[in-house]
Structure 1
């Protein structure tokens, strides 16, 4: 997911460095990935780990010295769980034309779906944010927050004010000294909602691609958007149909190290990772196959994410049910529905965790298989623990 963020940032002229802020324990794959990205884009890229989860804004304040080192003119803040064509240069142009502490990227949603996002009421002439509500209970605006921002160094002052207020409130409740929750800052509720209408927050509207990535279904949708974007930006990354090669339908990405049998049929919207093996007669559609997985002969994999190192046995069928936005509504976004409804698992795409083994000639439909499981039979609408 963050490869796309890093690539977009690296293309902005004058970008000094990229900082990843998160609560996750950095592991060897993340370190390897960041080292490779540093070499590819020739930019310093570092991971800064929060000591506790600090919310959407707390990490920015906690690591403010690192962010402001080198005296940046401004800095981008990108949520990791979004997919976009990241119009960062256009945002930078807008900021330079009219500098303000906070510039938010906005897009439009339909009235019903807008309730699932941060909603922005803007002045249509000046694009100042007059009102901001995070996930309102009634309709506020069809302009929603994309989770992609450009902040001036001045933007850290309101974060400091929230931190100090949190500290005072915490000390009233707990006289033992520093309250551990003081560092948690919710950018949307604590900052944007409070400062809207004060001439500090502006919105830059985009009609480019954008989606949240909250579920495996939205990950497949994001993959489809990115593959479609490659038609314009990186056509060389898309597989071409060649004589003696697999049959390619639509947009397909195949990692150079993957081995794909010539009788396989791939696409549309398929991404095949490093070291993957795709056997004879395999049919793959609307799926992501992560590194090191093996699809044996004549398997059929549709609307599925196959975890790294997993094996799907010959003649097996692994299938999910698509849950796409309404194609007739240009403002429709992916619904981030929960996994369950009325106690039942919702039909959704199938997910195989890492190193799962699916036997030959079985059907796995609308199911989630946790890592390291070896299945012995077919499953439908199950979470297999």
Structure 2
């Protein structure tokens, strides 16, 4: 049996809720838990023996992934190919698959893994594949349970509790359907492309009926969830099954959601024994990932759930917890960073505080109510921001290249 894998990476006009972090680095390459977001996908796929080719599908410029793919090809020699397939415009999650179907299926591929890039997960892919093969399924989707209040933000499904056959699927339903949701991780039988072709033909008919101009790109846009999966799940003759994972999962949509995802990946690496020990005499509360080129002074206290990137400098007395510190940042003495993200080249002055509100990994919302107004739970600092000495920034979103001289609470700094 031969499998291939597709990671849907989107493009620069998508994922706007991830700003200001995506101003500095493309969302799929933002580092969480010490590695790029999609590196975690590749790491999981490398443990599936049948996967030989991995394709990144999206509409970023080809240069965006060039260095990453080169490094990944060296790190994961078990893959015959890791290749970026660039869409000529935004084709949608199903349209990109259909457009590149010949390359994806090349080499007598039996099954295709499809994974959204903005998913944080333990990725039990071997178990998913075993379930898929045991039931001779056309589609097996990874599913999990969320709180009833969060369910409408995801693709909800109804399944037969005895067989796990999916009976109904609606992406982001307007009313409550189920608290079982799709994780955005799938295994498809290779024949799925026949079904995608049918969905594509239905799309063309809809465009023609609505008399839309054929040059606006809409006839090529195809949603994997809405246009393909939803009709298939309603067809009782199709073998669509769910694999319910008991392990962790969350979506990385907003910038703030990177912090709980960071915690999940670090905790997993620590429990697996794959988290490198920090080379510092500072007080460390695991799990913590500190890049070897970073300098953390002996008097600092770091952790838990902290990622510190390359060439970061942390002075004595600094306290960092539940945060992501990207490359080339400076955290001065006695500064405090809690539940926050610092993008590249940020400078935090002495005795300053940059803090958000605690967000559990199981929470799917990263906003809180303050004075009857919804604000950021996680404080996010864009690239090249400078917080002066003795300044407090709490529950804020700060765009790049800002200088903060006075305290801020619950604000968006444009």
TM-score higher than 0.5: yes
Q: Which of 274, 280, 283 is the equivalent residue of 2:310?
A: 274
Could you say what the CA RMSD is over the residues aligned between the two structures, in angstroms?
Answer: 2.2
Give the CA deviation at 1:359. Answer: 1.6
Which consecutive residues of structure 2, in runs of 5 or more, have no partner in the other structure?
A: 1-36
1:239·1:248 contact (CA, 8 Å) conserved in 2?
A: no
In structure 2, the residue matched to 1:2 is 38
In structure 2, the residue matched to 1:231 is 270
Are 1:72 and 2:109 counterparts?
Answer: yes
Corresponding pairs, count: 374
In structure 2, the residue matched to 1:328 is none
Structure 2 CA distance for partners of 1:171 and 1:16, relative to 1, 3 Å: same
2:283·2:299 contact (CA, 8 Å) conserved in 1?
A: yes
1:292·1:310 contact (CA, 8 Å) conserved in 2?
A: yes
In structure 2, the residue matched to 1:123 is 160
1:18·1:45 contact (CA, 8 Å) conserved in 2?
A: yes
Q: Once superposed, which parts of structure 1, at least 4 consecutive aligned residues long, lie more than 3 Å away?
A: 172-179, 339-345
SS for the counterpart of 1:16 is: strand
- In structure 1, how many angstroms separate the alpha carbons of the residues matched to 2:212 and 2:394? 55
1:248·1:267 contact (CA, 8 Å) conserved in 2?
A: yes
- In structure 2, how many angstroms separate the alpha carbons of the residues matched to 1:144 and 1:36? 34
- In structure 2, how many angstroms separate the alpha carbons of the residues matched to 1:322 and 1:336? 9
SS for the counterpart of 2:49 is: coil
- Report the TM-score when normalising by structure 1: 0.91
2:344·2:383 contact (CA, 8 Å) conserved in 1?
A: yes
SS for the counterpart of 1:47 is: strand
Give the CA deviation at 1:374. Answer: 2.5
SS for the counterpart of 2:163 is: coil
Higher relative CO (CA 8 A, sep ≥ 6), structure 1 or 2?
A: 2
In structure 2, the residue matched to 1:334 is 364
In structure 2, the residue matched to 1:142 is 179
Structure 2 CA distance for partners of 1:73 and 1:345, relative to 1, 3 Å: same
- In structure 2, how many angstroms separate the alpha carbons of the residues matched to 1:345 and 1:123? 38
Q: Which of 331, 336, 348 is the equivalent residue of 1:295?
A: 331
SS for the counterpart of 2:204 is: helix
1:167·1:178 contact (CA, 8 Å) conserved in 2?
A: no
Are 1:324 and 2:369 counterparts?
Answer: no
Q: Which of 352, 370, 374 is the equivalent residue of 2:381?
A: 352
Give the CA deviation at 1:312. Answer: 1.2
Are 1:204 and 2:243 counterparts?
Answer: yes
In structure 2, the residue matched to 1:38 is 73
